[in-house]
Amino acid sequence: MNAVELLGITKRFGDVVAVDNIDLAIADGEFFAMLGPSGCGKTTTLRMIAGLEFPTVGSLKIFGDEVGTLPPNKRPVNTVFQNYALFPHLNVIDNVVFGLKMQGVDKATARSRAAKLIELVQLSGLESRRPSQMSGGQQQRVALARALVNEPKVLLLDEPLGALDLKLRQEMQGELKTLQRELGVSFVFVTHDQEEALTMSDRIAVMHDGALLQVGSPEEIYERPANRFVADFIGQTNLLEGTVENQDTVCLTNGARVAASSAFGAGTPVAVSLRPERAHLVDQGAAAPGQSFVDGIVESVTYLGNARVYDVRLDWMKLEVREENRPGAMLREPGTAVSVAWEPSAVSVVGD
């Protein structure tokens, strides 16, 4: 059975359509990310699942039960809020115990369950601290314990790592993932950070302007983006504009024909998505047989340590090419004439 099921869910705020007719099913035990730029409707969708907003229309089920019109305290889900929303007047243990207390769980049981969760998130010894006396990472753990102590059927997380610095964020990513596997509960996770979504999730839903553009595993989303927006938003990419000539060929704007298989009909305007790390720089005319290539001139080089990123100027656009800094990798100075070459299987064709 699906943990969460959205069917034809729309949310309007006045004239603004925040979420536009979404169908979505999240499996039990899944680590599910909702990814998109700010204002795409991902947080609104999460809030609807939590019960903090009511859908304008549509069906919203949690483990088969219709919950769309229930208030948040009547739903078997809990939320880790952005910036945590810890109760500033309560210490750690009272924050964690809050949900159990509201449900009328007796004090002794509530305390021992809270103590267990505090241990799980490695905050033992800090029970009597106030949130204001804790670091961001510690507050994050309190927020997790406060939600998980209620044994929710689904845990909702709204940009839970957004307020942490890079190193701590990476650490917490791993911990969250481990925690989710141990508990076996579905985590639904809102983020605008595509790298975070790729690293952590079993599946990702990409949203834009209130619409659901693509749902799939990180590989599917990265390798076979459903459209131009997804290709551009997930990772870095070069979009070479053109039109479909036939199933295996796209004619680029400069007239060059490149091999790229697609299901679009001939004449459809498309873009060929070429990831910077999938392309290589070779001397002009030195592209291997079977490879596609375009000619250009190196405009600038950015040294990243583990790689160099080249900006290559073509006649009609600029391309970004990433060369790993392997032993023997040669530096191509700005001004050098080069060919950007790639295997035909390395690109994907995306439409609007």
Partner 1 sequence: MTAVEQPPASPPGAADGSEPRVATPEFEAAAVRQESRRGFLLALPAYAYLVLFFAVPLLIVIEYSFATRNRFGGTDLSGWNLDSYAKLAEPIVRDILFRSIWLAVLTTAICLLIGYPFAYYLATRSPVVRNVMLVFVMIPFWTNFLVRNYAWRVILGHDGPFTQTTEFLGLGEHEFLFTPTAVVLGLVYGFLPFMILPLYASIERIDARLLEASRDLYASGWQSFRHVLLPLSMPGVIAGSILCFVPSLGAYVTPEILGGAKTTLLGSYIVIQFLEARNWPVGAALSFVLMAIMLAATIVYFRKGGRTL
> Considering only residues 237-296, where is the footprint of partner 1 by CB under 8 A?
none
Find the shortest distance in angstroms from Cβ 8 to partner 1: 25
- Find the distance separating the first CA and the last CA of the chain, reported in whole Å: 34
Among 23, 54, 71, 299, binds partner 1 (CB under 8 A): 71
Query: Quick check: helix, strand or coil at residue 165?
Result: coil
Among 45-53, 164-172, 190-198, 200-208, which window interacts with partner 1 (CB under 8 A)? 45-53
Query: Quick check: helix, strand or coil at residue 71?
Result: coil
Q: Are 321 and 309 in contact (CB under 8 A)?
A: yes
Q: Are 267 and 251 in contact (CB under 8 A)?
A: no
The count of chain residues that interact with partner 1, using the rule CB under 8 A, is 24
> Considering only residues 300-329, where is the footprint of partner 1 by CB under 8 A?
none
50 contacts partner 1 (rule: CB under 8 A): yes
Find the shortest distance in angstroms from Cβ 258 to partner 1: 50
Of 102 and 331, nearer to partner 1 (C-beta) is 102
Question: How does DSSP classify residue 330?
Answer: P
45 contacts partner 1 (rule: CB under 8 A): no
Among 46-54, 178-186, 229-237, 324-332, which window interacts with partner 1 (CB under 8 A)? 46-54
Query: Quick check: helix, strand or coil at residue 260?
Result: coil
Q: What is the dihedral of CA 221, 226, 230, 231, to 10 degrees?
A: 80
Phi, psi angle pair for 40, to nearest 5°? -85, -10
Of 88 and 289, nearer to partner 1 (C-beta) is 88
150 contacts partner 1 (rule: CB under 8 A): yes
Phi, psi angle pair for 108, to nearest 5°? -65, -45
Of 150 and 292, nearer to partner 1 (C-beta) is 150
Among 19-27, 38-46, 80-88, 269-277, which window interacts with partner 1 (CB under 8 A)? 80-88
> Considering only residues 218-247, where is the footprint of partner 1 by CB under 8 A?
none
Residue 127 half-sphere exposure, CB side, CA atoms within 13 Å?
14
Rounded to the nearest 10 degrees, what angle do helices 136-148 and 166-183 cross at?
Answer: 20
Q: Are 206 and 221 in contact (CB under 8 A)?
A: yes
64 contacts partner 1 (rule: CB under 8 A): no
Find the shortest distance in angstroms from Cβ 216 to partner 1: 29
Find the shortest distance in angstroms from Cβ 11 to partner 1: 16
> Considering only residues 90-119, where is the footprint of partner 1 by CB under 8 A?
98-99, 102-103
Find the shortest distance in angstroms from Cβ 13 to partner 1: 14
Q: Are 145 and 78 in contact (CB under 8 A)?
A: no
Distance CA 268, CA 245 (A): 8
Among 17, 27, 70, 85, binds partner 1 (CB under 8 A): 85
Find the shortest distance in angstroms from Cβ 24 to partner 1: 20
Find the shortest distance in angstroms from Cβ 55 to partner 1: 17
For 221, residues 6+ apart whose C-beta sits below 8 A from its C-beta are 198, 204, 206, 214, 230, 234
Angle in degrees, CA 187, 170, 154, rounded to 5:
5
Q: Name the residues that contact partner 1, by CB under 8 A.
A: 50-52, 71-73, 77-79, 81-83, 85-89, 98-99, 102-103, 146-147, 150
